[in-house]
A = this chain, B = another copy of it.
Amino acid sequence: MRHLATLALALALPLPAMAQEAPEAAPSPGEIVAGAPADQWIAIPTEDLLVMTLSPDRDGTPRQAIIQLMPPPFSQGWVGNIRKLGAAHWWDGLAIVRVQDNYVVQWGDPDGEDAAKAKPLPKNLVTMSEGDYVLPWRSEGGEAVVTASGQYQAKKRAVENARQRSAAGPNVMVIPDGPPRDSYAMIASFYRGWPIAAGGVGSGSVWPVHCYGMVGVGRNDSPDTGTGAELYTVIGHAPRHLDRNIALVGRVVEGMENLSSLPRGTGPLGFYETAEERVPIVSIRLASELPEAERPHLEYLSTESDSFAHYADARANRRDPFFIVPAGGADICNIPVPVRRAAQ
């Protein structure tokens, strides 16, 4: 199962730095997000949300986490499997089995490795291959949105140019300019609300990246690529070495603290050593399957918007009163995409 993503590329010459003297009280990234116009927020379809309900905590407080599934063109084979698993209520009664500090929280079937006891999977899951971790990336027209300077001032114009050029067809992926000097890839940027990385211009590939809160597909040693029944989320520093080695299928957009604050497992790799330590999963549901009154309505700040460019620039160059020295850059995972409840 492969997708062909062609890339509309528009040359953006690095512009001279346009940063001006900071005004007296420059807005913080949070203030920029709070001030973003309503039309720069994009609703997340309830079809793309999974609602995970854990057993209540020791005080009886309910615990939920909401996961946004990754939209096309990435990882859609695994995402399709996850939709089927959710529709089958497959995870109900299973558990969080692993919490490794500064790494991942993982859930699924505690007996999944034991063929005699494993919970049967739905019959219609697709099998994915190693090659599906990335999308091939083909340059078209020899022009690139990407600039080495990473100037967000330049980005707006470049993205607009590319968007006009790419209006021709739906199979065109525009990768906008991003932060400079990624440690893992030629380019790191955002594509329709998701952090991505890519190889060299005109060749290579493009892939989603392992930032805090991203959700991926557990697997055994290669070439096994996992079904999507075993999932994890990142609870520490971005483990970018997993990029292109594991399928990323979504991200936690609400209730992350109910996963990240769980007790760490004391077994190898942070697995819980006894059944009692595991955290029971009451249910995992596609939000679209819930009664209307229970469906979460969430929206993200468009990563192609002016407000996001302003926010990303402020994350890279903090000018609010607390700060003395602006960093002059930010790595892709230090620019989390803002997500919030939509006004009803």
Q: Which residues on A are within 8 Å of B, measured CB to CB?
A: 58, 99, 101-102, 130, 133, 179-184, 211-213, 221-223, 236-241, 243-245, 256-257, 260-264, 315-316, 318, 321-334, 336
Set B243, B321, B324, B329: member contacting A183, Cβ < 8 A: B329
Given the complex of chains A and B, what is the CA–CA distance between A262 and B257 in angstroms?
A: 10
Whether A212 contacts B241 in the complex (CB less than 8 A), given A182-B183, A222-B324, A331-B184, comes out as: no
- Whether A331 pairs with B240 at a CB distance below 8 angstroms is yes
Whether A260 contacts B102 in the complex (CB less than 8 A), given A58-B58, A322-B245, A331-B331, comes out as: yes
- Whether B180 pairs with A322 at a CB distance below 8 angstroms is no
**Which residues from B are CB-within-8-Å of A240?**
327, 330-331, 334
Instruction: Output the least CB separation between A275 and chain B (Å).
Output: 17
**Which residues from B are CB-within-8-Å of A316?**
241
Given the complex of chains A and B, what is the CA–CA distance between A8 and B158 in angstroms?
A: 42
Set B184, B211, B213, B221: member contacting A328, Cβ < 8 A: B184
Closest 3 CB pairs of A and B: A183-B331, A257-B264, A244-B325
Given the complex of chains A and B, what is the CA–CA distance between A261 and B236 in angstroms?
A: 11
A318 and chain B: residue at smallest CB distance: B241
